[in-house]
Amino acid sequence: MIALLTALTLTLAQADQPGPDKELPSAVEAMNRARVTFEYGDYPQASKLLSALVEGGRFESLSLRAEAYRLLGLALFYQGRKGEAYSAFLEYLYLEPDGQLDPFYVPPAAVSFFDQVKKEAEPKLVPIRAQKRAEQEARQKAATAEAERRRQRELEEERRRLQQMTPPIERRIVQHEFWVSMMPFGIGQLQNGDRTLGMVLATAQVIAGASSAGSALLIEELRDPATGKFSNTGTGSTPYRTAVRLNVVKWVGAGVFFALWAAGAIHAAIHFQAEEQLPDRLIDGNPRRQ
């Protein structure tokens, strides 16, 4: 078993030595080889590989570099090289100020030693921790802003797509004239869109006007063609009495007509609308559904 581990370690060490025609391994590959060596318990070789890796500085992320220093500190501690392990753990904490060792996998002595390093380095870790927190918040804000910009772009694209799918629509607006509000027969109400009141006023004014005008015509028919006067002889209903009644109807009808005219004009003026939006209409002539 020992011979197998030794052979594996030598193989990994030889693989880490680049030849003249061999490219250097990536940081991930080198880290994997160092981790395998560490897990097999060859701590001297693991610390050698990890030291070369951190000195080369070819890491693809800070988390990978922090992991290298963590394993290096453990490998050195297991060899009794506590001074060097202290420095490696310190570098790890500078990268991960909230880093910890899992007591399920790490012996209590190593955990205690690491906690002591962390306690002594706490004054230096406070500003690093604050800076990392600020950087994380800045990244979160940038990610949120980018997500909002992406959402706005998607909404704009969707709006344009819907516009391309929607047929062109004709907007119809009717301009109203104020003087129309002064017209009789509910014309002002009809212009304002109040058709019911307009029809009621028109009907009432027609009846009142017709009553007044009709009474005036009938009164003239009752006059004596020769004298131009109304006969008042005899009993019962005479032309004179009839003319008097018709005259009352004439003036009452006229009063009602002009009163309705004035009231309708005032109402139309108060509720006057300069413009009216008609239902939109498609350019091809098909009415748009409302």
Give the count of beta carbons closer than 10 Å to the beta carbon of residue 22. 9
Most confident stretch, 147-161, 165-179, 231-245: 147-161
Q: What percentage of the chain has pLDDT greater than the value 70?
A: 82
Give the count of beta carbons closer than 10 Å to the beta carbon of residue 221. 11
DSSP-assigned letter for residue 77: H
166 domain residue, yes or no: no
> What is the extent of the structural domain holding 54?
2-17+24-147
Indicate whether this model's pTM tops 0.75. no
The amino acid present at 263, given as its one-letter code, is: A
With contact defined as beta carbons under 8 Å apart, do 170 and 281 qualify? yes
Do 137 and 219 reside in the same domain of the chain? no
- Of 96, 131, 147, the residue at which a domain comes to its end is 147
With contact defined as beta carbons under 8 Å apart, do 213 and 251 qualify? no
Q: What percentage of the chain has pLDDT greater than the value 90?
A: 31
Task: Report pLDDT for 288.
Answer: 46
Q: Give the C-alpha separation, 242 to 225, whole Å.
A: 16
Residue 155 predicted with pLDDT over 80: yes
Do 105 and 187 reside in the same domain of the chain? no
Do 8 and 115 reside in the same domain of the chain? yes
Task: Report pLDDT for 16.
Answer: 47
Max distance between CA atoms of the chain, in angstroms, equals 156
Digit-coded pLDDT (tens) for 197-233: 888 888 998 998 888 888 888 877 777 777 767 777 7
Task: Report pLDDT for 290.
Answer: 44
User: Domain tally for the chain?
Assistant: 2
| pLDDT (average), residues 249-269 | 85
With contact defined as beta carbons under 8 Å apart, do 282 and 167 qualify? yes
Do 9 and 131 reside in the same domain of the chain? yes
Do 31 and 141 reside in the same domain of the chain? yes
